[in-house]
């Protein structure tokens, strides 16, 4: 399976696009300004704008991306604004996201947490307090 990143405009990916092929192992951190497609193995942290981790790909380290599509395996934390976890994915580590799409069959082991801004969280807490019934006072 060749997972490709979704683009809002539906057009081809813009900017630099790098591929780490199957059978290639990188030991060390990777930082890319553009898109990164990994079919090989990375032993280190990955930071990029858009990440596609194919079914044969494996990352042992933290992932930070604006958009990520995971079809392979990850041993480490994932932080992405838009995250798609495919049915073939296997993840072990905490996941933080703004939007998530997890396909049936995906296996995750770790905490899922939504990346809300402090003002969003404050508004939710205030709304819950406002809608809670007033405590009864014993007479």
Residues 32-62: tens digit of each pLDDT? 998 999 999 999 999 999 999 999 999 999 9
Distance CA 138, CA 126 (A): 26
Average pLDDT, the chain: 84
Angle at 65 between CA 35 and CA 21, to 5 degrees: 45
Q: Is 65 a member of any domain? A: yes
Q: Is 101 a member of any domain? A: yes
Q: Is 24 a member of any domain? A: yes
Tally the domains of the chain: 1
Which pLDDT tens digit goes with each residue over 65-100? 999 999 999 999 999 999 999 999 999 999 999 999
Tell me, rounded to whole angstroms, the distance of Cα 100 from its chain centroid: 8
Residue 99 CB neighbour total at 10 angstroms: 12
Q: Is 6 a member of any domain? A: no
- Global pTM reads 0.74
Main-chain dihedrals φ then ψ at residue 24, nearest 5 degrees? -100, 135
The whole-number pLDDT of residue 36 equals 96
Q: Which domain holds residue 23?
A: 17-131
Q: Is 119 a member of any domain? A: yes
Q: Is 126 a member of any domain? A: yes
Q: Is 70 a member of any domain? A: yes
Q: Is 1 a member of any domain? A: no
List, in sequence order, the alpha helices (H) in the chain: 118-131
């Amino acid at each position: 399976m060749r997972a490709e990143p979704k683009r809002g405009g539906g057009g081809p990916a813009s900017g630099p696009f790098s591929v780490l092929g199957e059978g290639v192992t990188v030991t060390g951190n990777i930082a890319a300004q553009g898109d990164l497609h990994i079919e090989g193995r990375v032993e280190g942290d990955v930071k990029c704008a858009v990440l596609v981790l194919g079914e044969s790909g494996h990352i042992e380290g933290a992932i930070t991306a604006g958009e990520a599509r995971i079809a392979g395996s990850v041993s480490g934390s994932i932080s992405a604004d838009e995250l798609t976890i495919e049915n073939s994915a296997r993840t072990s580590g905490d996941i933080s996201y703004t939007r998530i799409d997890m396909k049936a069959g995906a296996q995750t082991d770790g905490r899922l947490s939504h990346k809300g801004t402090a003002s969003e969280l404050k508004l939710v807490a205030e709304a819950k307090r406002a809608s809670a019934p007033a405590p009864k006072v014993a007479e």
